[in-house]
Chain A
Amino acid sequence: ATEWNVSVWGSRRAFTEHIERLAELLDERTDGEFTLNISYGGLSGNRENLDGISIGAFEMAQFCAGYHADKNPSITVLELPFLGVSDLQQEREISQALYEHPAVVADLARWNAVLLMPSPLPQYNIVGVGDAPQTLEDFDGMAVRATGGIGAAMETIGAVPNSMSATEVRQALDGGLVQGVSFAPHAHMSFGTIETGEWWTTNLNPGTVNCPVVVNSDALAALSDEHREVLMSSVDDALDYYIDYYNEQTMAAWGPALDERGIERVTFSEEELQAFREAAAEPAAQAWIEENTARGLPAQELYDFVTGMIAEGGM
């Protein structure tokens, strides 16, 4: 029998349901001959999962590209602001296609890692306190917790990005240190920002993070052909389950969670957002391409690949 150790972090949540489902499927389809032992934080810190894969300490792991851009520059293209991805299914398809791009494969091969599947997340949006912004101009001078590309995007409309660890976010919002926090809905719920928040932006959609699941390439090669086939063929089923779960459980809980707490939904007009996108998206994309070309990546090609797929998919 083969048992793989899987390193993830936090606790079991929507974000890890595809891995849990994959474990069930493998167990069923190999009659218990190939199993996954999923560890929540026991095997590695959440920013060292690629290191652990590279060493061979465990066989499978999940991580987010934005935690350490220099470890995985090629997939950070999916974290650029305002790519215009419409839903989880599209996020999944684009990620899966990108993960097969030779430059991306080579980038992760530096870590002895093979990309297995994405963990698609919806667009980030801001939960805030104080007067709800009526227009984007109201963000001028507002202190927001937003990191990386999303922080840079918010800066173009005059917001002041503050950096702090996720665990200090609630305190910072309570204390008025920041007036807004940018997270995906499940994180707004688990880090408690909606307990204090008074409004939520429905359609700012400045971007998201890309969090793949990878496997150690030696371990993958060492699998029997039969087990490897079962693993690869179970990925799509696991992802179907994940997306259903996120849409039906998390997003279904999100609306009522907002209503219960009387949180105001703020929606911006399409014209306004268009101006924001033009101001923020283009410079960020250009900077990304320039920086990653310097690394020796075919950055323009990767960017065109992603934006091309989104254009085809339609909005």
Chain B
Amino acid sequence: MAAASLVMTDDSTVSRLDRGLLEVEKLFALISGLAVFALMILAVISVGGRNALNQPIPGYVDWIEQAMPLIAFMGISYTQREGGHIRMDLLVGNLKGRALWLAELATTLLILILMMLLVWGTFAHFLRSFDMSQPLWSRDSSMDIGLPIWPAKLIVPVAFGVICLRLMLQVFVYARAVVQGTERPVGVPLIADAATQAALEAATVTGDDNDDKGH
């Protein structure tokens, strides 16, 4: 049931970088998914433990709070790669060629600036909770059972760092497309019409029987 990817590939350096980064992004997204699964198992153990043994998991809430950053942030770059962060494409959807790539370049560049600043901001947030001179290096702990919070806080700038790499690649691709006037650049998500063609082409090449693509 995986939706067709909207990103074109070939054997250029850019595409290889794209797919190399994609491996990292997929791994991170999988960790995010596994954290959701772990949350489910944790609840089963908690309910089971409470009802069968009258022994709930100590610090259940603290553990959930630790797992949430894994779920919420690890997949951010994968989602950006697949064009999964929602937007209103009423206007950009009607642009073509250079005008389209220029618009994409502008918004992607803004997002890159935002995310680079947030790497700084979230890393500073991590640093405030981290102190090598303290037991467990901790300068901030959870409310109930006092777990150190710095590992969870560190997840955020790490995940944001990966999306910065992704955005740099996209900025490069869009900038080159503006210069060269490319119609369907590799390594960036294409919007609906072009993507449909791409998906259909891919399907004829690979014999993919995914029924999502049929008209």
Chain A residues with CB under 8 Å of chain B are 47, 51, 54-55, 66-71, 110, 141, 143, 147-148, 151, 160-165, 177, 291, 294-296
Contact = CB atoms under 8 A, between A and B. Distances in A.
A73 B7 CA distance: 51
Nearest to B47: A177
B180 interface: no
A295 B124 CA distance: 22
B138 A70 contact: yes
A296 to B, nearest CB: 7
A164 B50 CA distance: 14
B141 A295 contact: no
Interface centre among B54, B61, B143, by most chain A C-beta atoms within 10 angstroms, is B143
Given A70-B138, A70-B148, A147 B54 contact: no
B61 A165 contact: yes
Contact of A70 (B56, B60, B62, B139): B139
B176 interface: no
A147 B175 CA distance: 55
Contacts of B142: 68
B125 interface: yes
Which 6 pairs across A and B sit closest by C-beta, in order of nearness?
Answer: A70-B141, A163-B144, A147-B144, A70-B138, A163-B61, A162-B56
B61 A164 contact: yes
B38 to A, nearest CB: 18
B133 interface: yes
Nearest to A151: B144
A22 B146 CA distance: 33
Interface residues of B, number: 27
A55 to B, nearest CB: 8
Contacts of A70: 129, 134, 138-141, 146, 148
B86 to A, nearest CB: 26
17 contacts: A47-B143, A51-B125, A51-B128, A68-B140, A71-B139, A71-B140, A71-B141, A110-B139, A143-B50, A143-B56, A148-B144, A160-B54, A163-B58, A163-B60, A294-B135, A295-B134, A295-B135
Contacts of A162: 50, 56, 60
A161 B143 CA distance: 14
A207 B146 CA distance: 18
A143 B58 contact: no
A143 B54 contact: yes
A69 B146 contact: yes
Contacts of A160: 54-56
B141 A68 contact: yes
Nearest to A48: B125
A45 B77 CA distance: 26
Most B CB contacts (10 A, CB to CB) among A54, A68, A161, A294 go to A68
B48 interface: no
Contact of B143 (A54, A55, A68): A68
A105 to B, nearest CB: 17
B59 interface: yes
Given A68-B141, A177-B50, 11 more contacts: A67-B143, A68-B140, A69-B141, A70-B146, A71-B140, A148-B143, A148-B146, A160-B55, A163-B145, A164-B60, A295-B135
